[in-house]
């Protein structure tokens, strides 16, 4: 239920913002908007203050929306005025100047980018708190091991950019994985010595959708925490099997548990497999059987119980870093984040187009809903970050020069500007069919990937 609600809220917000961008731009140019619809199909709710006003609609299928404007090429629009009211065709979209039409089309994706900027700005203003990038265990025969990276060292910079937190390091590594670049990581030992490590990704074959740390053989170092449950997610496996806050995990399948990290490793490696837990609750030992649910992390299935550790602030204090930003500095930081995400999205699209990245990276509605639910489980901040990321993706996808998308309409207007006359109806009809075919193929791939991830794989 959390997944469904989180998905519907995210999609509803992003669609509304996108279409409202078109609406405001149309009104700013004097274009009459006949209908503003969130969703498709049968109407659930409808409001119209008067016959000549905009009709506001909430429809049954929430996976999109549209703004219908007065257009002299569609005589059926006359019905909106009533038979006795003359229509002012100067308010028609097709009667506007080319710059005005381009502004109306571009305003939808622009609204999504502005929403992402506001989200990142709001997340940055209170400051950022994260763990310093100390390196944990290194996987054998990995890129990290070959580059002589060592457990316990702190990452100082990646590719010449200073790293303050693991979040920064993960994003930097993900973008470099996408580029298949060779780059340098500078680390600092516990004695203060600096070491430079050269990582060559020319022969790297793993998909960039995999967690960059896992792909390179890196892991985040964290202090060993006692295997004590701090929080149980309502409705989760842990909740249903009776695990409670303050329960101490003593054994898993009769094997001693040393710390929380070891317990998490057991759970992650056991999706849909039965585990027998020996716990201590109020000094009394109990045995509980659990079957971790299977969830996707990138393309890998892992187990999850829905329980979090009881954090000990004293353990983490030496490794925490907090960065404060002023109002405008936070805005610059947010703008940089939006720019980085746009660049990364475009790179991924280009690599899929050129065959350098698998089309398995395309996600359908089920994958998006799952990501929405997982981010909401982690809290309001991760959920807002997810909304910002999805908003940028929607903006970029809509600006692709594919007929039927905003980018395709912008392309029409650019061609019209160059030719000094619009494209013929025949050309428009042909390109629209091509655009629908491309979108249909993309939707098929997205749904196929979802089916493969959640039903077959």
Give the whole-angstrom CA distance, residue 157 versus residue 166.
11
Least confident of 125-139, 164-178, 271-285, 369-383: 369-383
| H runs (alpha helix) in 96-249 | 98-124, 143-146, 166-179, 212-216, 237-240
Q: How much is the average pLDDT of 226-249?
A: 87
Name 224's Cβ contacts closer than 8 Å, sequence gap at least 6: 258, 259, 260, 261
Question: Half-sphere exposure (CA, 13 Å, Cβ side) for 46?
Answer: 12
Higher pLDDT, 206 or 175: 175
Give the whole-angstrom CA distance, residue 246 versus residue 309.
9
Name 299's Cβ contacts closer than 8 Å, sequence gap at least 6: 207, 209, 210, 360, 453
- Taken in order of first residue, the domains within the chain and their CATH numbers are 98-127+324-457 (no CATH), 129-221 (2.30.42.10), 229-309 (2.30.42.10)
Query: Residue 179: pLDDT above 60?
Result: yes
Least confident of 273-287, 352-366, 373-387: 352-366
For helices 380-398 and 365-378, the axis angle rounded to 10 degrees is 150
Q: How confident is the model at residue 83 (pLDDT cuts 50, 70, 90)?
A: very low
Give the whole-angstrom CA distance, residue 39 versus residue 32.
20
Q: Specify the pLDDT at position 203.
A: 56
Q: How confident is the model at residue 232 (pLDDT cuts 50, 70, 90)?
A: confident
* pTM for the whole structure: 0.75
Instruction: Find residue 75's DSSP bridge partners.
Output: none
Higher pLDDT, 84 or 284: 284
Q: Which of 282, 284, 273, 286 is nearest to 242 (CA)?
A: 286
Q: How confident is the model at residue 105 (pLDDT cuts 50, 70, 90)?
A: very high
Q: Specify the pLDDT at position 183.
A: 84
Higher pLDDT, 429 or 187: 187
Higher pLDDT, 348 or 365: 348
Give the whole-angstrom CA distance, residue 44 versus residue 38.
10
Q: How confident is the model at residue 208 (pLDDT cuts 50, 70, 90)?
A: very low
Contact 195, 187 (CB under 8 A): yes
Q: What is the mean pLDDT of the chain?
A: 83
Query: Residue 163: pLDDT above 50?
Result: yes
Question: How distant, in Å, are the alpha carbons of 108, 227, 230, 261, 417 from that of 248?
Answer: 51, 6, 10, 13, 70
Q: Which of 391, 429, 415 is nearest to 101 (CA)?
A: 415
Q: How confident is the model at residue 297 (pLDDT cuts 50, 70, 90)?
A: low
Q: Name the residue with tokens 């020996």.
A: 278
Least confident of 28-42, 146-160, 242-256, 372-386: 372-386
Q: Which of 293, 259, 256, 260 is nearest to 274 (CA)?
A: 293
- Catalytic positions: 19
């Amino acid at each position: 239920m959390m997944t469904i609600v989180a998905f519907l809220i995210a999609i509803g917000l992003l669609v509304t913002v996108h279409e409202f961008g078109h609406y405001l731009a149309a009104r700013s140019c004097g274009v009459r908007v006949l209908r503003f619809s969130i969703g498709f199909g049968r109407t659930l709710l409808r409001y119209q203050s008067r016959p000549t006003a905009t009709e506001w609609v909430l429809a049954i299928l929430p996976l999109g929306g549209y703004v219908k404007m007065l257009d002299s090429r569609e005589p059926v629009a006359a019905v909106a005025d009533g038979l006795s009211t003359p229509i002012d065709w100067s308010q028609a979209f097709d009667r506007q100047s080319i710059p005005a039409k381009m502004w109306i089309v571009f305003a939808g994706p622009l609204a999504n980018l502005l929403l992402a900027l506001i989200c990142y700005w709001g997340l940055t203003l209170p400051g950022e708190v994260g763990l310093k990038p100390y390196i944990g265990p290194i996987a054998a025969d990995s890129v990290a091991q070959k580059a002589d990276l060592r457990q316990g060292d702190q990452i100082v910079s990646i590719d010449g950019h200073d790293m303050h937190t693991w979040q920064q390091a993960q994003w930097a590594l993900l973008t470099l994985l996408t580029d298949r670049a060779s780059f340098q990581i500078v680390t600092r030992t516990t004695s203060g010595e600096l070491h430079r490590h050269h990582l060559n990704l020319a022969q790297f074959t793993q998909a960039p959708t995999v967690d960059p740390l896992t792909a390179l053989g890196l892991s985040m170092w964290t202090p060993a925490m006692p295997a004590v449950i701090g929080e149980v997610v309502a409705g989760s496996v842990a909740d249903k099997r009776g695990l409670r806050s303050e329960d101490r995990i003593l054994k898993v399948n009769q094997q001693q548990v040393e710390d929380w990290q070891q317990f998490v490793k057991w759970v992650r490696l056991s999706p849909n497999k039965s585990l027998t837990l020996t716990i201590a609750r109020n000094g009394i030992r109990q045995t509980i059987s659990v079957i971790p649910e299977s969830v996707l992390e990138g393309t890998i299935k892992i187990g999850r119980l829905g329980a979090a550790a009881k954090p000990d602030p004293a353990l983490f204090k030496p490794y925490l870093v907090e960065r404060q930003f002023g109002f405008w500095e936070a805005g610059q930081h947010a703008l940089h984040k939006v720019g980085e995400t746009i660049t990364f999205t475009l790179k991924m699209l280009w690599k899929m187009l050129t065959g350098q990245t698998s089309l398995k990276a395309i996600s359908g509605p089920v994958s998006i809903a799952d990501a929405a639910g997982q981010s909401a489980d982690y809290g309001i901040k991760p959920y807002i970050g997810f909304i910002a990321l999805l908003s940028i993706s929607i903006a970029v996808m809509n600006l692709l020069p594919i007929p039927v998308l905003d980018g395709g309409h912008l392309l029409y207007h650019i061609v019209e500007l160059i030719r000094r006359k619009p494209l013929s109806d025949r050309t428009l009809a042909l390109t629209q069919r091509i655009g629908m075919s491309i979108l249909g193929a993309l939707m098929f791939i997205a749904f196929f990937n979802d089916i493969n991830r959640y039903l077959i794989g």
